[in-house]
Copies of this chain bind each other. A is one copy, B any other.
């Protein structure tokens, strides 16, 4: 392995500390302290601080503005992985989530989707695609497949303003149960990047989620592409039996 310079290592470690402070909201109300001040706080040289800020700029987390200093680009919202909640529920209090409904209708899905939903190959399902915004800026692109009996009643409802989870519970009369979630970090392809209004190649979350009714029936197979510069995923884990 190539040896790395101690200075680069130091910058990376400082970037780790700053990332944690930034995403916990320490600098949401104004610019970060000046480089020399950060250096004092972090016990680091000004050069190391400058390199660390360069890494965080490359991540899209902060930007430098002339005459103002270094600013956090977007406050990062936390989406809990502890409890199954829709995005609007999770962001309650941060502002209104508005959904641009880009597709809504019956389709014959790929057999892999039918299988995930426990349907026969060729069964028609409701396909929804929604671009979700908070404060006007895209947060996520959600591609959803639902069995026809669950999905069709949703088409008359307020898909632009409401979370699917709440709507499914209302129209089906059943509570949701568990969801199996797999989280990936991927580079946004040109198409996803254009929709999410980020540069192609930007790191985003891709989240596969299969949600079941309380009785165990799978009713909602989704892939969400989430802007990682705007949303973090949070969880509290507990140590089980050894």
Residues of A within 8 A of B (CB): 1-2, 4, 8-9, 11-17, 19-21, 23-24, 41-44, 55, 58-61, 78, 81-84, 108-113, 116, 143, 165, 169, 175-187, 189-192, 194-195, 197, 201-206, 208, 214, 223, 228, 232-240, 242
On whether the beta carbons of B177 and A238 are closer than 8 Å, the reply is yes
Give the residues in chain B near A183, CB-CB below 8 Å. 81, 183, 232-235
Task: From known contacts A111-B43, A187-B202, infer whether A238 and B8 are also in contact, taking CB-CB under 8 Å.
Answer: no
Instruction: Tell me if A's interface is mostly helix, strand, loop or mixed.
Output: mixed
Task: From known contacts A17-B112, A19-B208, infer whether A58 and B179 are also in contact, taking CB-CB under 8 Å.
Answer: no
* Chain B residue at minimum C-beta to C-beta distance from A100: B1
On whether the beta carbons of A2 and B194 are closer than 8 Å, the reply is yes
On whether the beta carbons of B239 and A175 are closer than 8 Å, the reply is yes
Task: From known contacts A178-B238, A182-B232, A238-B84, infer whether A20 and B208 are also in contact, taking CB-CB under 8 Å.
Answer: yes
Given contact pairs A19-B186, A59-B186, A178-B237, enumerate 6 new A-B contacts (beta carbons under 8 Å).
Answer: A41-B112, A43-B111, A179-B236, A179-B237, A181-B236, A183-B233
A16 to chain B, nearest CB (A): 4
List 27 A-B pairs, Cβ < 8 Å.
Answer: A13-B143, A14-B110, A15-B189, A17-B110, A17-B112, A19-B206, A42-B110, A42-B112, A44-B110, A58-B187, A58-B189, A59-B189, A84-B237, A84-B239, A165-B239, A175-B242, A178-B238, A179-B236, A179-B239, A180-B235, A182-B234, A183-B183, A183-B233, A185-B204, A185-B228, A187-B202, A203-B203
On whether the beta carbons of B4 and A110 are closer than 8 Å, the reply is no
On whether the beta carbons of A108 and B43 are closer than 8 Å, the reply is yes
Tell me, in angstroms, the Cα distance from A83 to B81 when the chains sit together: 12
Tell me, in angstroms, the Cα distance from A183 to B78 when the chains sit together: 9
On whether the beta carbons of A82 and B20 are closer than 8 Å, the reply is no
A218 to chain B, nearest CB (A): 13
On whether the beta carbons of B42 and A81 are closer than 8 Å, the reply is no
